[in-house]
Amino acid sequence: IKFKVEYERDQKLTNCGILVVNKEDHTLGNITRAHLLMDKRVLFAGYRIIHPLQPLIKFKVRTTTETTPLGAMQDALKN
Amino acid sequence: FVTIEKNTTVLHDEFLAHRLGLLPLDSTTAQQKNYLRDCDCGISGCGKCQVVYTLDVKNTTEEVKEVTTKDLICENNSGVWPVHTSTENAILIVKLGRNQELKLRAIATKNIGKEHAKWIPVAVATYQIDPVISINEDVMDKMTEEQIISFVNSCPTKTYAYRAGRGIEVTDNRKCIYCRECMYWGEDKKDQIEDVEDLVSIEQSKDTFIFNVETTGALPPETIVRQSILLLKEKLQIINNAIAEVERKHR
């Protein structure tokens, strides 16, 4: 399965989503998470590497109603 | 990749291949070359993804002869040399005794450090964070001159300086080594001066980093730092584009 990015909306909370990124590691995960936390519209941002032998990152982002989690990720990545 | 045709030296084949793999090659033209897996020629190799070297040395003298990187002859193009500045600094590969010889063919490819550490162009990379030092003026006014001078002298790297008119000044931000001597200075003076804990606060600046990069000679450090930032940007761009596509599907 060779996708780069997959996104799922969380059912129970509003404006919350889980983004799965393939073939990346802490190098990108940590700095995007730090950047997401600097954004004032982001309520929750975290990442984890599910297993060290697999290069997958799961980002969990929750935002206020101003923007969507995907939008916040895109802004963080652009800057 | 190393193909050894004749080896009568004291080092065995894999040892020599390992040593050759660790030699730093001048990589300023490595940008234009392709990775072996991405090249158009398949994996057979061509001028765009490989550089071929030959080494042919035979010791016919009585003394010990040294085989250095000077003896590596580049076959096709002269772009990529092993790193040596002059004849004295040529890197030693193996020493030959009487009647020993070495003949081999080596292929240099482009790759990243995750595959094997020999492709990492950096020997040491460290980083420090700029300290942000701020001094509370009100507390400073309550201190006598002796106390101020003893405070200024408590810092081992002399980051502070005292001037009679102006009070305590920070001479150079980066001299601070976070030893917190200046903060501990106030511990036993709590009854003499009020609020002495607020006198000085040392924090780490959130966006300034000082990187210390030492390379193996394959690339100059400025190029490495610049390239790494560009690569990071590219990777983030790829993820960004992928997210844009996924967003379209979601609607």
Kindly report, residue by residue over B151-172, the tens digit of the pLDDT.
Answer: 777 777 777 777 666 667 777 7
- Determine what percent of chain B is predicted with pLDDT higher than 90: 0
Token pair 């035979």 in the structure block, residue: B58
Q: What is the mean pLDDT of chain B?
A: 76
| pLDDT of the residue at B197 | 67
| pLDDT of the residue at A30 | 84
Q: B113 to chain A nearest CA, in Å? A: 14
Chain B, window 191-250: residues with a beta carbon less than 8 angstroms from a chain A beta carbon: 232, 235-240, 242-247, 250
Q: Residue B237 and residue A32: Cβ atoms within 8 Å? A: no
Q: A1 to chain B nearest CA, in Å? A: 15
The answer to whether residue B42 scores a pLDDT higher than 70 is no
SS3 for B182? helix
| pLDDT of the residue at B105 | 85
The answer to whether residue B86 scores a pLDDT higher than 70 is no
For B28-39, the pLDDT digits (tens) are: 766 667 776 666
Q: B38 to chain A nearest CA, in Å? A: 17
Collect all residues of chain A within an 8 Å Cβ-Cβ radius of residue B243: 5, 7, 19, 70, 73-74, 77
Q: Residue B239 and residue A70: Cβ atoms within 8 Å? A: no
Interface test with A, best of B243, B248, B249, B251 (most A CBs within 10 A): B243
How far is residue A74's CA from residue B246's CA, in Å, rounded to a whole number? Answer: 12
Give yes or no for a contact between B202 and B131, defined as CB atoms under 8 angstroms apart. yes
Q: Residue A74 and residue B240: Cβ atoms within 8 Å? A: yes
ipTM above 0.90, yes or no: no
Q: Residue A7 and residue B247: Cβ atoms within 8 Å? A: yes
Q: The tokens of B80 are what?
A: 């990529």
Name residues whose C-beta falls within 8 Å of residue B115's C-beta, 6 or more positions apart in sequence.
none
Q: Which residue of A has its CA nearest to B238?
A: A4
| CB-closest option in A9, A70, A77 to B236 | A77
| Confidence at B41, pLDDT banded by 50, 70, 90 | low
Give yes or no for a contact between B96 and B139, defined as CB atoms under 8 angstroms apart. no
Q: Residue B246 and residue A5: Cβ atoms within 8 Å? A: yes
Helix %, strand %, coil % of chain A (to 5): 30, 35, 35
- The dihedral sign for the CA sequence B215, B219, B222, B223: negative
Beta-bridge mates of residue A20:
A6, A58
Instruction: State mean pLDDT over B59-71.
Output: 79
Instruction: State mean pLDDT over A32-42.
Output: 82
The answer to whether residue B3 scores a pLDDT higher than 80 is yes
Interface test with A, best of B129, B205, B236, B245 (most A CBs within 10 A): B236
The answer to whether residue B225 scores a pLDDT higher than 80 is yes
Q: B179 to chain A nearest CA, in Å? A: 27
The answer to whether residue B201 scores a pLDDT higher than 80 is no
Pick the more confident residue, B60 or B139.
B60
For A45-68, the pLDDT digits (tens) are: 888 888 888 888 888 888 877 777
How far is residue B89's CA from residue B95's CA, in Å, rounded to a whole number? Answer: 16
Q: Residue B232 and residue A19: Cβ atoms within 8 Å? A: no
Instruction: State mean pLDDT over A22-49.
Output: 83
Q: Which residue of A has its CA nearest to B244?
A: A74
| CB-closest option in A7, A19, A28 to B236 | A28
Element (H, E) at B211: strand B200-215
Residue type, A22: N
pTM assigned to the model: 0.68
Q: B78 to chain A nearest CA, in Å? A: 35
Instruction: State mean pLDDT over B203-226.
Output: 80
How far is residue A72's CA from residue A60's CA, in Å, rounded to a whole number? Answer: 11
The answer to whether residue B87 scores a pLDDT higher than 70 is no
Maximum Cα–Cα distance across chain B: 85
Q: The tokens of B4 are what?
A: 């050894």
Instruction: State mean pLDDT over B66-75.
Output: 76
Q: What is the mean pLDDT of chain A?
A: 80
Instruction: State mean pLDDT over A22-34.
Output: 81
The answer to whether residue B27 scores a pLDDT higher than 80 is no
